[in-house]
Every structure is written in structure tokens, then in C-alpha cells.
Structure 1
Amino acid sequence: MNINKREGLFVILSFQCSSCNNTITIGTSPKVVASDRRDINIRSQIGGHLYGIRCAGLAKLMGAMNLPSPIQDQIYSKWDKNLLLSIKSFSNRSMTRAVNEAVTAANGRELMVSGDGFWQTRGFQSRHGAAALLSCNTTPKVLDIETCSKTCNVCIGALAIKKSNPVKYNDVIRSHQCEKNYNKSSGTIEAHTVLNMFKRSVSKYGIYYTSYVGDGDSKTFTSLSNAKPYPGQNIIRLQMAFASTVRKCKHDLDLLLKRTWAIFWHKYSTNEDPRHDSCSIDWCGYLKAVRNGTPYDHAPHALPHPVLDAIKPVFENLCFRESVARVVDASSQNQNEGFHSLVWLMSPKHKTTSGTTFETAFHLVIIIFNDGYFTLGDLFNNICGYRGHYTNQAMIHFDNSRLHSESKTNNRKTRKEADRSVQKNVDNDQTNNNNAPGDDNDKTINSDKQTDDDYNETNSDNQPTSEDNDTTTDSDECITDDRDSTSSSDDSSTDSDDKTILSLDTKTNEDIERNDGTSDNEYGYYNPKDRRRISNSL
């Protein structure tokens, strides 16, 4: 056996018979249609982007596995630009479908969108940045994206020959497509890119972004208001809202206004001057104590009046009717943060990269975020000529893991709501028993068990997490909205939630039975001893 030729991971092997000297030549990977590239090299290149390791990471991986190194870095960069064009075409189709779904859900072409910027590296010195607009319906998807680059790798590399070979330098500068398209500070990228997407919404999709959900710490909305992308039409600004108070009252403006001021007056109350008219008995310890006929001491829970008087102007600025109206429906940017987390998996912030690599990463994320991993099979089919059996199996596994995590999150939320309902029924029964006729002298009060504000409870299930960014006062306001969580750490729980499995043949969701002791992270098709009972459709 001899190796006649090698191109990256592709090799041509020849076998010669020792008896008749007949020679057979075998290639280890098919050639891509209308191209000189090999299937294995293209798939490894896409895999490098999906895992965020790129050419240098692939070289280390292949070396550790005792395999040939991938294609040279110069050829890799050239192929990256061609690969980006194919990925862009698929992501643009995905965003167009997402716009049509948003228009159908809104029953009109005036949409509410959430926007947020992200940068390739930490801080405001990043050379590359972008912003995405996502729909705000029940299934948020990416509608549009814009990128900015402050440098170009080709321009920087050509500086090495500017003095020694000016003719070649000029040829390189004229012939290449420069990545640099932004000259201002990195901190202004978000406002610039969001404004561009608003300006082209009508020409690109025929829609209007009439409501914008922002994070409140950027100049984006000011830029939109000054530029007026839609003449004669105002854009409504919606601040992010995380507190449980807002979520519970998000459809009732009057109740929302009342409950927000309840936070202030609850802390302002004293034993001599209780002010709990706006509080809810669900979380207010004073109202519970009155209901149960137990004593209540405000001292451990109240804040000093001078402190509250100092922050009262802040409440007056934030909790007036027009301001509170902005957070009706409790819109947030959680979907944007989930999108960003996927981008950082494919383009880590601690690694310097080119604009092409950065764009490739977030266009791949658009396809995955909008339509799931299985849709990447269409990309492989378009570039390589076929999807591949194991590629299909892997993408199905990734989607199943994603759906399973979401199912477990929803089930936990349902259980929390059920527990709250049970506790409320118990409290009501206790109230009825206390109001029943009987000998009041038989009722004793233990001062050690006095009703306290619920925010002193230490139940970890009801405490806010670092991802919630909630401002809370009592435990009932500390309950987080699990549907906004995208953490994969929930997979470690041991509940018996059902799985939703994506069928290979039907490309729909079907239920399968629970694993018989097999880890949820194992590929069933790689493990010959796998005992999972999968539906016949697979």
C-alpha cells in the first residue's frame, strides 16, 4: 500500500497485487461537485467553525488523533471566504422565514423587536462588532443582523511588502475585498448597526419595527429617535423588565403601577405607621400576620426613613404612569443573550479572529437558533452534495438535547406554580379556620413563630439567580421565569421529564421512552451497547 497524494485529510491510496502486479487506487473522500475541494476537508472546516477551534485547533486535534493535518492556513482562509457566501445564503433564507412567521403572529407588518449589540472581544476595543434584531413573539427568531469591522487582515498583511514591493502591494489592495467598513469607536457599533437595520426594514422585508426593546444602557434609542427611519411614525421604547412584580402585572397597567409603589411603601412602614394598602398578601408579611392574628414587627424589615427619602425621587422618576407603561407585556432581551451565547461558542472572546471568521460564526448561529441543528444538513447537502448518515444522527441528537432541556425547564416552572397554588389554598383554609366560631381563649400565639416577610426565606428554588438581574424585595418577587433560561446545566436534575425526539424520516417531534440507565449525553448510534428504546420512526 502506498500513499500517492494527500490534500489535507484526503489521501489517495494505491494497492498493488504481489502476484499479478495489478494496482488499485482508492480515494478516501469524494470530490465536491464543480470544485476541486474534497468533502472531508470542507466538513472538517465547517466543524472547526461549529466548535470554535478553526484551523489551528483542527491541526492540534488531528495531531492528537494521529491523523494528517488539515489544509494549509493560507488555503483555509481562501476557502473560508467561499464558505461564508454559502452560509450567508442559508441564513438569509432563515431570517426571511422568521420575518414571515413574525408577520403572521402579529397579524400585521408592524412588529415589536428586541435588539442588542455584541463584540468579538471583551471591552470597547474590539475590532469587530455586530447587532441582531429578534422577534418578540412566543418563539423569538433572528430577523436581521448587521456587522461592523474596523480592520482588514489583508490590508494589515500587505503592509509588510508596501516598501519592498510597492507594485505588488497596490495590486493586492486593489484586488481584494476589504473587510473594513467602520471607522468610529467600537462603543458606537450597536447604535450604528441597529439604525441601519431599521432603515432597510421596508426595502428588505416590507415591515416596520414600531416597538423596540432595549437594555437601557446604550444610545441606540436616542439614535433611532433622532434619525427617524420611518417618517411620520414614532418608535416606542420598551425597557427590559425582569422583576416578578412586572411579570405578574404585565397586562394590567393600573395594578402594575400600584405594585411598583408597594415596594417602596412596604419598606417605609413602621409599627406606628403601617403602609401596606398596595401590598399583596401573597408576599407581604404584615398582611399575613393580620390575617392569621399574629403579631408583626416592622423593625427587622424596614429601611431607615432618611435612606428611603433619598431614593424616593428615583421611584418618582421610574414609577409614574408613562414610565411604567413602557414595561407592559414585560418584554426582555433574554432571547438576544441566548443568541449571543451561541455566537461565543463558535467565536470565543479570548481568541482574536478575522471579520470573515466572526461573520461565519454568527451566520451559522442564525441557522441553528432559528431552525435547529438539523437544518445544517441542508447546508452540507448544498455544499458537499449529500447530508451524510452520521451528520443527520448528530444533528438530531443536538436538537433532542435542546428540546429535552426546554421540556425540563417548563416542567419545573409548572411544578413551582402548582406548589404556589397549593400553598395559597392552605393559607385560605387556615384563614377560614381562624374565622370559624370558637373559643378565642384557646388560640395561643407563639412569638417565636411570628409571621415574617417572605423575602427572609432561604428556599433556593425561589431565590433570584445571577442571570435574572431582578430587583426584588420579597420572596414572591424572587421567583424567576424559567422560560427565559437557556442554561444547559439543568440537565443534571434527576426528574422524570419526558423527552421530545426528532424523527429522521418525518423530521417532526415524537416521544420516546426514558433511557434505561444510559447517559443523556451519549450518542446512541456510536454505542453498540446502547439500550435506549427509540421509536420505530428512527
Structure 2
Amino acid sequence: MQCLRSTQMTHKFNSSRKSGRSFDINKKTILGMRSIGRGRRACVKFCSYTGLPLPVSNSPWLEKTSSLAETSSQVVADRLQRAVHDVRKLKMDSGEIASLEETMNIGVSVDGAWISRGFNSLYGFVSVISIDTGKVLDKHFLSSKCRECDKWEGKAKDREYVAWFIEHEPNCQINHEGSAKSMEEAGARVLFERSLQKYNVRYTQYIGDGDSSAYAAVKYTYQNENITVEKQDCVGHIQKRMGTHLRKLVEEHKGKKLEDGRALTGRNRLTNHLINAFQVFYGIALRSNKGNVEEMSKQTQAILHHYASTQDEPRHDNCPTGEESWCKWQQDKATGKKTYRPLKNPLPAAVLNAVQPVIDRLSNPALLEGAKMCYTQNANESLHHVLWSVLPKEQNHGLMEINLGSNLAVAHFNSGVEQFNKALFEATGLEVNPVSQSLWLSLDRIRSREAKLKATREYKARRKELKRKRLQKLDRFEYAEGETYASGEFDRASAKKAKRRCKTCLQPMKGHSRNTCTN
């Protein structure tokens, strides 16, 4: 700053407060960019468009990222302790434990995530979330890569390597020897084995998705105390198997004819819209009969019978009864009204025979027994959504960035943006700006408002209706267009050809009369 009247009177000052050797703005920039899933290169691009000064160079950026990751780990550890304390208070209020210091048994949902797409990720993340409070209780980060070790690749026989490794081993970043697929199992084992020492709790109920062997690895964690971990499957993942199995059935029957000489899919056959309806009603059959496996199985079988019903042969006996039933026939029976209209095109016998094995498999009481209490992993999926917003899968991330990002994701999920950021800034020695704090509170309010909106019955019904219409539209397009895309099916050596189209309207000839365009 220079005096306008005297050029000799000047005063220089920094626009940002300095903490130790670094300016606050540098650390705040790193935290801000990481919270939106971006790093230094994106920051440089942002500065180039806005005309702001460039951020610190790459080396100081990494150094400050490492420092922030270490500090945030300490703050997150305190937040996780508070989450366990919340469960203790809940258990004590319900009379399950007599004091806050008593060892307690709790149920947790367990799930893992990879930091990059596919089964070749070098980094993994596993968390346990309380089924009582929906908060993260513990997390474990797995790494099968160390940049320092990579520098010594192929030099393991050198004397210098031995001396270096002895010094490096305590700080080596590799804590997982194995494939990416085994990370969830390894992480779950670590979390369960340290539960007593870290929190004085036992994870005696395991909620999983059935995608990994993690449960087998932790089942006998507390066998010295004659306690076996009980497993329950996520009802949401069980429900999704209906759509998965039916779509797989369609792929298996691609190019094949059923016993009636027609394909499995097509108009009035097994369409995308019908597959979605089967999956929705399967979820209703499970959730509306919590704890009753026999009724779950019965109503699952009823789905196929419902879509095979005719005016002369109604098959609604196993459909859910009462005014709230999704079956109009049963609704009319309960209310005395006449709103039911029979299906114009019920599923033919050939389609029923093809789909029946899938229904039998998914209505098996042995399968449904694992989901009878209707627990879900929705909290884990929500956590992963937050995690991937700060560590996008399509980008490469360094180890320190992953540590910092995973800490931000867990803390924001548990405590919200404002509470955690305020605690992190205080622990780091950064000044909390009133404007920043106001905006953090605004972000938390928006997040809370959107969550409440999406949980309403009207919002869910609207979302299902839009999906139904979208799939119906897709079915019409696919029926009219025929097969237009398949890997390697339309090369020169292939016998497949694109569908013949009308020269007037360029639409597929299906639906046109002999010499007249009907469009």
C-alpha cells in the first residue's frame, strides 16, 4: 500500500493470515479443491480463468496435503468416538446396557469401495456403520502401492536396498498384499478384530450385500467368548437381484425362440417395463412382510401369477390382500369397488415357463431368511456417494489425497460440513471466516432439506412413475428399431444387417402398409 501524497511512504502486508511458515489461504485452497473432488491442476485452470494468482507449486501442495491429512485423521478419530458414544447412550436408554463403560454388542452394516473403477484398484476403503444411528463407527483404508517401494523395484538383491528397507518398513504405505477383490474382506477383518480394543464393543450383527467373502472372515472373531457374528443380507440388494436375474435371462435367450416360436422379449412379452415392475413388487413383497419368510415367498410367487391372469382365469389368490395392496383385484375385494381391469395382454405360457425358475430361486425361503428383518446398506451407499464426490473414480489420486478425501467424506457424512470444518480449522490453526461458516451451515441445510424431500412418499411415487414411463418409452423404441447395437455384430463378416427403413420417413418398415407410409 502506497501513500498518494508521498511516494516514500509505503506499507506492505499480506492479504491472508500466516500460520507458522505458510499462509492460511494455501491450506484453505487445498481443502476447498479436495472437497469438490479436484486437485492442483484444476486449481491452476480455475485461476487462469478468474485471473487469480497461481496456487503454490506442486511440492508445497503435496506437503500441505500430507499435513492436512494427518490433522484431519485426528479430528475424525474424535468424531468416530463420539459416534460410538451416541450408540452407547441409545443402548443405555433402552436398557440393553447398564452403564456407558460396559462392553456392548451392536449391529453394523459393512461395505467396501474402490477408489478407481474396475477390479484393479490399488486402493480400497471399508467402513462399518451402526444400524441404530446410521453413523460411521470405524473405517479402514487399504493400499497395495507405495511410491518409495516402486523406486526400488528390481533392486531387492542390492545391499543398499536392505539398509533402505529396514529404515523404510515402519513407514511403508502398503498395508494390503492381495487383489482388489479381497480388500473388503481384509478391511472387515481389521475393523472387527480391533473393535474391543478401540471401542470396547462387539459387532455381533453383520449386515452385508453378499458380494464378498467378508462375513466368512469375521464370523468367528469373538469365538473366545462363545459369540458368533450373525449375518443379515441387505434387502435392497436382494431386491435388485430380480432385475439382474431377469436381464441375464434376456441375454441368455438372445437370438433364441421359446416353445411358442417367438422370442422372450418384445411387445407383450418380457419388456424393460415389466422387469422393473417385477423388481418393484418383489421389494414390496419383502418389506411388507418383515419377519415373515413364508409370506415373503408366497407374495413373490404371486407376482408372476398376477401378470398371467385373465378375465376367465384370475390368479390373484396369493397377491397381498387389503385396501393397500398393489393388486387392484384384491383392492376391489377389500373395498367392494369395481376398479379392476384385466390385463389386455397377459404373459403367454412360454414366457411364464422361462421366467418361473428365476421366481423360484428368488422366493426360496433359504434366501429370504437372510433378509427377513429388512435391514439395508443405504447408509453405506450414501457414504460412498459422498466419498466419490471428493475422490472421483475417473481421476487418479495420490495416497495423501485419498487419506484427506476419505477423512472429509466420513466427517461430513457423520457431522455435517459446518461442525467438522470448524473443528478442523481450529485444529489446523486456520481462522474461521464468518462468511465461510455461514455458507457451511447453508450447505448442511440444503443437504438436510433434500434428504427429507427424497424420503417423502410423494417424491418416491413420482420417481417410480417417471422411471416407469421412461422404460415404456424405451420398450417402444427398441421394438420399432430392432437390434441396432451389439458388440461385433455388425462388422463386414457378420450376417446381421440393420433393419430396412422406409424411404419416405426413414423409420423402420414395421408398421407400414405395403405402398403407403403411415407416419
TM-score normalised according to structure 1 size: 0.67
Q: Is the 8 A contact 2:115 2:124 kept in 1?
A: yes
Q: Distance in 1 between matches of 2:22 and 2:166?
A: 27
Q: Percent identity?
A: 24
Give matches, 1:76-91, under 5 Å: 76-91=61-76
Q: Deviations over 1:86-106 (max 9, x none)?
A: 101111111111122223334
Give matches, 1:348-497, under 5 Å: 348-375=392-419, 376-410=421-455, 412-413=456-457, 460=465, 463=468
Partner of 2:327: 284
Partner of 2:185: 191
Shift of the alpha carbon at 1:323? 3.6
Shift of the alpha carbon at 1:384? 2.6
2:11 is the alignment partner of 1:24: yes
SS of the aligned residue for 1:118 comes to strand
Q: Residue type of the partner of 1:28?
A: S
Task: Assess, with a 3 A threshold, how the Cα gap between structure 1 residues 180 and 293 changes in structure 2: closer, same or farther.
Answer: closer
Q: Distance in 2 between matches of 1:16 and 1:178?
A: 56
Task: Assess, with a 3 A threshold, how the Cα gap between structure 1 residues 416 and 27 changes in structure 2: closer, same or farther.
Answer: closer
Q: Distance in 2 between matches of 1:59 and 1:317?
A: 55
Shift of the alpha carbon at 1:150? 1.1
2:281 is the alignment partner of 1:238: no
Of residues 350, 354, 372, the one that matches 1:328 is 372
Partner of 1:98: 83
SS of the aligned residue for 1:249 comes to coil
Q: Residue type of the partner of 1:390?
A: V
Partner of 1:492: none
Task: Assess, with a 3 A threshold, how the Cα gap between structure 1 residues 229 and 307 changes in structure 2: closer, same or farther.
Answer: farther
Q: Deviations over 1:409-454 (max 9, x none)?
A: 24x426879x9xxxxxxxxxxxxxxxxxxxxxxxxxxxxxxxxxxx
Q: Is the 8 A contact 2:221 2:228 kept in 1?
A: no
Task: Assess, with a 3 A threshold, how the Cα gap between structure 1 residues 104 and 263 changes in structure 2: closer, same or farther.
Answer: farther
Partner of 2:174: 180
Q: Distance in 1 between matches of 2:25 and 2:166?
A: 33
Of residues 101, 105, 117, the one that matches 2:112 is 117
Q: Distance in 2 between matches of 1:175 and 1:63?
A: 40
Partner of 2:363: 319
Q: Deviations over 1:273-332 (max 9, x none)?
A: 64433212422244456655688656833452x655566565555435454232233211
Partner of 1:259: 299
Q: Distance in 1 between matches of 2:13 and 2:29?
A: 20
Q: Deviations over 1:185-225 (max 9, x none)?
A: 11110111012111111111111112212112222223233
Shift of the alpha carbon at 1:131? 1.0
Q: Distance in 2 between matches of 1:202 and 1:97?
A: 16
Shift of the alpha carbon at 1:17? 7.2
Task: Assess, with a 3 A threshold, how the Cα gap between structure 1 residues 372 and 297 changes in structure 2: closer, same or farther.
Answer: closer
Task: Assess, with a 3 A threshold, how the Cα gap between structure 1 residues 274 and 413 changes in structure 2: closer, same or farther.
Answer: closer
Of 346-355 and 320-329, more deviation after overlay is shown by 320-329
Q: Is the 8 A contact 2:301 2:360 kept in 1?
A: no
Q: Residue type of the partner of 1:120?
A: I
Shift of the alpha carbon at 1:64? 2.2
Shift of the alpha carbon at 1:256? 3.2
Q: Residue type of the partner of 1:50?
A: S
Q: Distance in 2 between matches of 1:353 and 1:239?
A: 32
Q: Distance in 1 between matches of 2:38 and 2:338?
A: 64
How much is the aligned-residue C-alpha RMSD, in angstroms? 3.5
Q: Distance in 2 between matches of 1:272 and 1:297?
A: 9
Give matches, 1:516-531, under 5 Å: none
Shift of the alpha carbon at 1:333? 1.4
Give matches, 1:4-43, under 5 Å: 15=2, 19=6, 21-32=8-19, 35-43=20-28
Partner of 2:60: 75
Q: Distance in 1 between matches of 2:341 and 2:436?
A: 64
Q: Residue type of the partner of 2:109?
A: S
SS of the aligned residue for 1:61 comes to helix
2:121 is the alignment partner of 1:136: no
Shift of the alpha carbon at 1:228? 6.1
Task: Assess, with a 3 A threshold, how the Cα gap between structure 1 residues 202 and 465 changes in structure 2: closer, same or farther.
Answer: farther
